[in-house]
């Protein structure tokens, strides 16, 4: 026998040092598998095989050792069965109890192997080769069956060493041959058992490594989600805090514009109004992202004329293009119609046109619509926005659709915008199911394609008389308005604006104060801020107020951008406006015979 094989054979009886390094989770699975494979039937089944063998030897030679061996064999089998039953009742075990339980189970398997190893010695074939061969067949069969069931090298070694030594002692030349053959069988069985154990352990280790990797990946994903939630919360809080003073500044500025001022004062107020409008536009753009992420924007699809869409875009962006010396061309052959939400589609394409003008310094911008037979997608219209601007490198194509990312603007130059326009395009594209594709080459310009389902022209729903009827002058502003806002500057600004338009205004800083005013006077409208001192917010208060006074015109004014709150406001059906509220927007909302609703985007 090779020295290395003999050394491994001796080491098999000792606890493996590496066993302590096996993860507890792997040991737990090994113990569970061992319990499954060593059920009552399998632990007690060797007794019916051992009994006939012992009785035959006892009947042949009358040796009491045969009966003693049978009794010992039965006692060990029953003891192992009881130990296994107790171990099963203790499941699940604590982590620190797994290794000792696994060692005890292996020790019990070793005892069963020793019983078979004692068989050739205690049965004592008295030199009869036939009986020795019969014993060998029983032992080898038991070892082979046990190895297949539990793959235990301890049981195999204990049984086979007893058999080999007995064959060599009792069998003479034939016994030595059988002993050598049995020893060869032992080495082959050990090699197979080791392979099975290594394969099992390796597969378990890989399994738990993958599970651990999946858990860590999930943790990282959750960290990213939490960071995104934190960003949203910070974004909402900062936006709200900025909107409050800007709201007051905007209304005070509108009031000043209606006041008689010297010429230099008028110019200063106009410049102030332009600055306020620019800042308000930036905040509105950031609010768009919050609304879309909240799911508060729901598209209303209908047939939209491409020509009418392009006329609106021409009116909006022609002035900006002319200021930069650019040519803005819009082409829509034929009477094309698409199925989309007109406001959201205009915002999507408008953001693309705005971005194209912003990053084009010479040449122009082309907006063109092509029918399905040209664009290659059956049943769709392709809208192209093409510019001759600086272009976008290929590695930046994905990133330009992220929030606040701008190519070539590391200094965050305010003149280049906020870097939100294309992120809104991406969100609108997904919301409307209008695929967007970007093609660009640095120094050559950019082409953005939008595919929109084609539709038939919608039938005219109103006559000329109906249209004429709509030109009737809008109703006057409410005579008496209640303004409820905990911010003193906002209350004063709104009161001053409405008073300058002939309204009688009463203000309150909290719900209790507002209730007292409502009980003492008759109001035609109530303007309420969302955030109020105390447990109730403005939305809850307005819902109660609408039930108590159905004729009272109500309007919620809010600087909220948090997705959940925005979704709740949209779901309530309460008309609302976002701070900073433009003066004309507020006046139209109060004068409208129908309840105003917040803009979609």
CATH code, 369: 3.30.565.10
Model pLDDT, residue 368: 93
pLDDT for 366? 93
Asked which of 160, 195, 218 is the last residue of a domain, the reply is 218
Are residues 592 and 504 part of one domain? Answer: yes
Query: What CATH number is given to the structural domain containing 546?
Result: 3.40.50.2300
Same domain, 64 and 106: yes
**Residues 581, 526: Cα–Cα separation, whole Å:** 15
Residue 343 shares a structural domain with residue 439: yes
Burial status of residue 280 (CB atoms within 10 A of its CB: 0-12, 13-18, 19 or more): buried
Q: What is the CA radius of gyration of the chain?
A: 43
How far is residue 159's CA from residue 143's CA, in Å, rounded to a whole number? 7
Whether residue 312 is found in the same domain as residue 331: yes
Same domain, 438 and 482: no
- Which pLDDT score is estimated for 506? 92
Are 168 and 31 within one domain? yes
DSSP bridge pairs for 387 = 365, 446
| Residue 231 falls inside a structural domain | no
Same domain? 287 vs 306 = no
Tokens representing residue 278 in the block = 């620019």
Whether residues 50 and 190 share a domain: the answer is yes
DSSP reduced 3-state for 184: helix
Same domain, 190 and 309: no
Angstrom distance (rounded) from CA 218 to CA 513: 50
Is 93 found in the same domain as 74? yes
Helix 129-150 / helix 95-123 crossing angle, nearest 10 deg: 170
So what's the pLDDT on residue 483? 92
Tell me, what's the pLDDT at 296?
A: 56
Residue 147 pLDDT: 60
428 & 482 share domain: no
Examine residue 442 and state whether it is found in any structural domain, yes or no.
yes
Number of domains in the chain: 3
Is residue 20 one of the residues assigned to a domain? yes
Q: Tell me the β-bridge partners of 440.
A: 446
Domain span at residue 268 reads 258-296+474-601
Confidence (pLDDT) at 237: 67
Query: Which tokens sit at 421?
Result: 């326009």
**Which parts of the chain register pLDDT below 70?**
1-22, 39-41, 126-127, 144-159, 171, 193, 231-244, 247, 275-297, 372-377, 397, 399, 402-419, 458-475, 561-563, 593-601
Q: Is residue 461 part of a domain?
A: no
Is residue 539 in a domain? yes
The answer to whether 27 and 99 have CB atoms below 8 angstroms apart is: yes
pLDDT at 399: 67
Q: Determine the 3-state secondary structure of 203 from DSSP.
A: helix
Residue 565: inside a domain, yes or no? Answer: yes
pTM of the full predicted structure?
0.46
252, part of any domain: no
As beta bridge partners, residue 364 has: 327
- Please report the pLDDT score of residue 116 as a whole number: 79
Do 79 and 16 lie in a common domain? Answer: yes
| Residue 242 is assigned to a structural domain of this protein | no
């Amino acid at each position: 026998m090779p020295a290395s094989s003999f050394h491994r054979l001796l080491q098999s009886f000792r606890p493996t040092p590496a066993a302590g390094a096996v993860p507890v989770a792997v040991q737990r699975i090994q113990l569970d598998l061992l319990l499954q494979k060593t059920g009552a039937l399998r632990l007690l089944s060797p007794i019916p095989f051992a009994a006939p063998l012992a009785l035959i030897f006892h009947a042949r030679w009358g040796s009491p050792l045969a009966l003693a061996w049978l009794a010992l064999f039965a006692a060990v089998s029953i003891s192992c069965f009881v130990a296994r039953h107790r171990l099963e009742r203790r499941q699940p075990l604590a982590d620190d109890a797994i290794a000792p339980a696994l060692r005890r189970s292996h020790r019990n398997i070793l005892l069963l192997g020793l019983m078979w190893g004692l068989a050739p010695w205690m049965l004592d074939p008295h030199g009869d080769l036939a009986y020795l061969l019969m014993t060998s067949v029983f032992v080898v069969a038991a070892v082979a069956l046990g190895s297949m069931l539990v793959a235990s090298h301890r049981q195999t070694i204990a049984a086979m060493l007893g058999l080999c030594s007995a064959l060599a002692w009792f069998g003479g030349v034939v016994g030595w041959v059988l002993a050598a053959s049995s020893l060869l069988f032992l080495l082959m069985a050990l090699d197979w058992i080791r392979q099975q154990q290594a394969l099992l352990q390796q597969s378990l280790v890989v399994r738990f490594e993958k599970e651990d990797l999946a858990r860590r990946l999930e943790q990282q994903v959750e960290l990213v989600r939490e960071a995104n939630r934190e960003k949203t919360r910070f974004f909402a809080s900062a936006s709200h805090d900025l909107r409050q003073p800007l709201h007051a500044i905007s209304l005070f500025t509108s009031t000043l514009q209606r006041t008689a001022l010297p010429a230099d004062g008028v110019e200063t107020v106009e410049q102030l109004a332009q600055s306020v409008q620019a800042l308000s536009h930036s905040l509105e753009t950031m609010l768009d992202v919050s609304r879309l992420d909240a799911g508060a924007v729901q598209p209303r699809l209908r047939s939209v004329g491409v020509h009418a869409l392009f006329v609106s875009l021409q009116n909006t962006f022609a002035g900006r293009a002319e200021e930069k010396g650019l040519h803005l061309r819009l082409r829509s052959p034929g009477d094309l119609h698409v199925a989309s939400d007109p406001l959201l589609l205009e915002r999507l394409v408008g953001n693309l046109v705005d971005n194209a003008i912003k990053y084009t310094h010479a040449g122009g911008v082309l907006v063109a619509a092509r029918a399905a037979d040209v664009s290659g997608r059956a049943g769709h219209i392709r809208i192209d926005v093409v510019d001759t601007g600086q272009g976008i490198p290929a590695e930046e194509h994905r990133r330009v659709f992220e929030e606040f990312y701008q190519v070539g603007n590391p200094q965050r130059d305010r003149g280049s915008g906020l870097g939100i326009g294309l992120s809104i395009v991406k969100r609108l594209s997904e919301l409307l199911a209008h695929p967007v594709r970007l093609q660009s080459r640095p120094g050559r310009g950019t082409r953005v394609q939008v595919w929109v389902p084609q539709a038939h022209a919608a039938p005219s729903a109103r006559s000329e008389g109906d249209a004429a009827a709509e030109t009737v002058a809008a109703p006057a502003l409410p005579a008496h308005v209640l303004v409820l806002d905990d911010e003193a500057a906002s209350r004063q600004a709104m009161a001053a604006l409405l008073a300058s338009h002939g309204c009688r205004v009463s203000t309150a800083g909290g719900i209790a104060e507002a209730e007292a005013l409502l009980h003492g006077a008759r109001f035609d409208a109530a303007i309420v801020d969302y955030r109020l001192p105390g447990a109730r917010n403005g939305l809850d208060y307005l819902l109660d107020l609408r039930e108590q006074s159905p004729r009272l015109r109500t309007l919620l004014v809010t600087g909220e951008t948090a997705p959940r709150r925005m979704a709740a406001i949209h779901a309530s059906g309460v008309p609302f406006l976002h701070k900073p509220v433009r003066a004309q927007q507020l006046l139209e909302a109060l004068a409208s015979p129908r309840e105003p609703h917040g803009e979609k985007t």
